[in-house]
Structure 1
């Protein structure tokens, strides 16, 4: 091997090492930018925040933009499969009077059936996000910050939503039971505005029990919604 060949080989090795060093510096810069983003835009702020990345941020984070996509994709799926359907279901299916409990039985039944589907969708999306999270390879300085952001934007809201479903479903089922009870005893049970009365004293205990259950579940749903809202805004 000639001296010129050795010189060329040396230059080639130097260029490769410089390139590798440059890559390392670039990764460190991307990681630093991503950590700062997570700390200032998610972890360090009260409430739930899932900012949309700009083109500049996506470029600045490099491969870590895909790490953020795990959080963002879950929240997009949560919005489409749970939050929006829940809002629509409550808006369309919640009766505003005792008379509507009977008149809108079919709407109430649709809402009750939809709760199980929404819960299944939430469980599915959470499992997908958890699997993607577990598969991420992250340096020691990034991992705890990312884990905190993931808990804030994925784990905690998923748990909060899971606590809403049972009470809403039970509340709707209690309303269905009341509607069926009134239909079965329509000659003895009358609804007038906010009042429901029966001319048969033997029916009163069952009627009172159903009304109490509806009231209790209504209060539970309100409290669950308040907790969820406080979580979102950071109360």
Structure 2
């Protein structure tokens, strides 16, 4: 009887060993994923979020889901900020006549920028929440956190800082348009030539235009910073 049951006991003892052997892939998967994050994202200037090849997906195993937190955010960010170029072009003003004649365009651009900011905030919050829930060994977490900051936190925070600055410039443009409309009897605009009959109105208008020019320079600097973050140069 003892001989009959011995193979069963041996099989029972062998099962945990077989299951443990299956888990041996984790260190290799972790190493491969960590090296990918370090060399393909952290060590590169700018924001780089490479698409995984089938071989990389297989090599990273379950860590591909961790990478999806980064790729999902970047896909959503790209979609959210895609209209930015067209909005900036639509909202660009080159003269006082532009400011007064394109009030509706400026309002539409401001609405678009506000919507963009709302989308970005929501996507960043979603990514931050997913990031916080990840269970990672400490050695991988150190590298992953750097990659997450480079591809999620920094670009999102930079965009969210730039958008209100652009919106503030548009708000100043609208205030100028309203001021000109309220004092149209004293302000004559003929193309690029502006004549003001009241010295007080002239001084107030000049101050508002000077403030707008200062804000425009600040926005240009912010756009340069954004380019540096995204492209690394």
Range class of TM-score, shorter chain: over 0.9
Q: Aligned pair 1:102/2:90, yes or no?
A: no
Q: Superposed, which structure 2 residues align to 1:1-235 within 5 Å?
A: 2-21=2-21, 23-81=22-80, 83-235=81-233
Instruction: Give the C-alpha shift of residue 87 in structure 1.
Output: 2.0
Q: CA deviation at 1:195?
A: 4.4
What secondary structure sits across from 1:141 in the alignment? helix
Deviations 1:55-95 (A, max 9, x none): 222222111111011111111111112x2122221122222
Unaligned 5+ segments in structure 2 are none
CA deviation profile, 1:37-64 (whole Å, cap 9, x unmatched): 1011000111111111222222221111
Structure 1 stretch displaced more, 49-58 or 37-46:
49-58
Pairwise CA RMSD = 1.7
Q: TM-score by structure 1 length?
A: 0.92
Q: Secondary structure at the match of 2:188?
A: strand
SS at match of 2:45: coil
CA distances 1:88-139 after superposition (whole Å, capped 9, x unpaired): 2112222233322111110101112223222221111111111100000001
Contact 2:42 2:146 in 1 (8 A): yes
CA distance in 1, matches of 2:8, 2:125: 53
- State the distance in 1 between where 2:51 and 2:211 align: 42
Q: Say if 1:56 and 1:192 are closer, same or farther in 2 by CA, change over 3 A.
A: farther
2:95, 2:52 → 1: CA distance?
Answer: 45
Structure 1 residues 98 and 172: alpha-carbon distance in aligned structure 2, compared to 1, 3 A threshold: same
Instruction: Between 56-65 and 128-137, report the one with greater CA deviation.
Output: 56-65
For each residue in 1:186-214, what CA deviation from the matched residue of structure 2 results, as whole angstroms up to 9, or x when unmatched?
A: 23213344443312212012101210121
Question: Displacement of 1:181 after TM fit?
Answer: 1.7
Q: Aligned-pair distance for 1:221?
A: 0.5
Does the 8 A contact of 2:70 with 2:148 survive in 1?
Answer: yes
SS in 1 for 2:139: coil
TM normalised by structure 2 equals 0.93
Change (3 A) 1:210 1:6: same
